[in-house]
């Protein structure tokens, strides 16, 4: 399928799960529009849509922590994409300076 | 953190990325409410919210393909959860009968 075949939500967004291609580590989840998904494929680096800033976001453009795209696969109903990458730069995906954004355990409390 | 500390969207939902705990394979992405996240932790099996059916959905209740929860971790801004599981039953997460929901390559076209 192509970016045109992906199902975007009513804001025109699709969740993108970003995974380190060789270790399987889930690095982050962000959002893409049809345009930033197409740019991700064309550029070979992840490009997202920042909901907070309301603009296109080429990951690593300022930090240097770009993500080289290895593959993009949609799920069965085409409303989520899984992006296998090689996390470059210092190997840091999270803006807090750690490798993965997923570092806050959730417990029953 | 607890389910009360997770940030749900304006529909009261949070995306849950479900990953096989030992292989790192991303099996599926579904949605949880505060209540189904709390039930997931209490029960030790994944429980989601079906947006299509508008109801709670205990994964595998009818198919037998339950997912035993190993850990739940939120991301840096607490608006996505990563659920490490052991995919039981026939080891099939996808309703189409395959292991992972992610099996549709996206190409530039």
Inspect the interface and report whether the beta carbons of A76 and B82 lie closer than 8 Å: no
Q: What is the pLDDT of residues B41-64, one digit of tens each?
A: 999 999 999 999 999 999 999 989
Nearest to B109 among A4, A71, A94 (CB): A4
Of residues B89 and B58, more confidently modeled: B58
Does the pTM of the predicted model rise above 0.90? yes
Inspect the interface and report whether the beta carbons of B106 and A38 lie closer than 8 Å: no
All structural domains of chain A, each given as residue ranges with its CATH number in brackets, are 3-87 (3.10.20.810)
Inspect the interface and report whether the beta carbons of A1 and B106 lie closer than 8 Å: yes
Closest CA in chain B for residue A97: B76
B88, pLDDT greater than 90: no
Report the percent of chain A where pLDDT is more than 90: 90
Residues of A in Cβ contact (< 8 Å) with B102 = 73-75, 80, 82
Q: What is the pLDDT of residues A43-91, one digit of tens each?
A: 999 999 999 999 999 999 998 999 999 999 999 999 999 999 999 877 8
Nearest partner of B28 among A79, A28, A46, judged by Cα: A79
All residues at 6 or more sequence positions from B78 whose CB lies less than 8 Å from its CB, including other chains: A104, B1, B5, B6, B7
Nearest to A42 among B2, B96, B108 (CB): B108
Our CA angle for B51, B82, B71, nearest 5°, is 120
pLDDT band at B91 (very low <50, low <70, confident <90, very high): confident
Output the DSSP codes for B49-97: EETTTTEEEETTTTTS--EEEEEEEEETTSS-EEEEEEE-TTS--STTS
* Angstroms from A21 CA to nearest CA on chain B: 10
Output the DSSP codes for B24-50: --EEEEEEE-HHHHHHHHHHSB-EEEE
Residues of B in Cβ contact (< 8 Å) with A72 = 105-107
Assigned token pair, B65:
């393909």
HSE of B48 in the Cβ direction (CA atoms, 13 Å)?
19
Nearest partner of B3 among A29, A102, A109, A104, judged by Cα: A109
- Assess contact for B28 and B94: CB atoms under 8 A: yes
pLDDT at A109: 80
pLDDT at B90: 79
Residues of B in Cβ contact (< 8 Å) with A7 = none
């Amino acid at each position: 399928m192509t970016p045109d075949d992906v199902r975007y939500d009513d804001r025109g967004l699709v969740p993108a799960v970003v995974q380190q291609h060789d270790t399987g580590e889930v690095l982050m989840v962000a959002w893409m529009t049809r345009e930033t998904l197409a740019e991700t494929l064309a550029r070979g680096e992840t490009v997202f849509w920042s909901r907070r800033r309301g603009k296109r976001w080429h990951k690593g453009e300022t930090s240097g922590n770009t993500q080289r795209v290895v593959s993009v696969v949609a799920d069965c109903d085409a409303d989520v994409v899984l992006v296998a990458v090689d996390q470059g730069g210092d190997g840091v995906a999270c803006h807090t300076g750690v490798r993965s954004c997923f570092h806050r355990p959730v417990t029953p409390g």
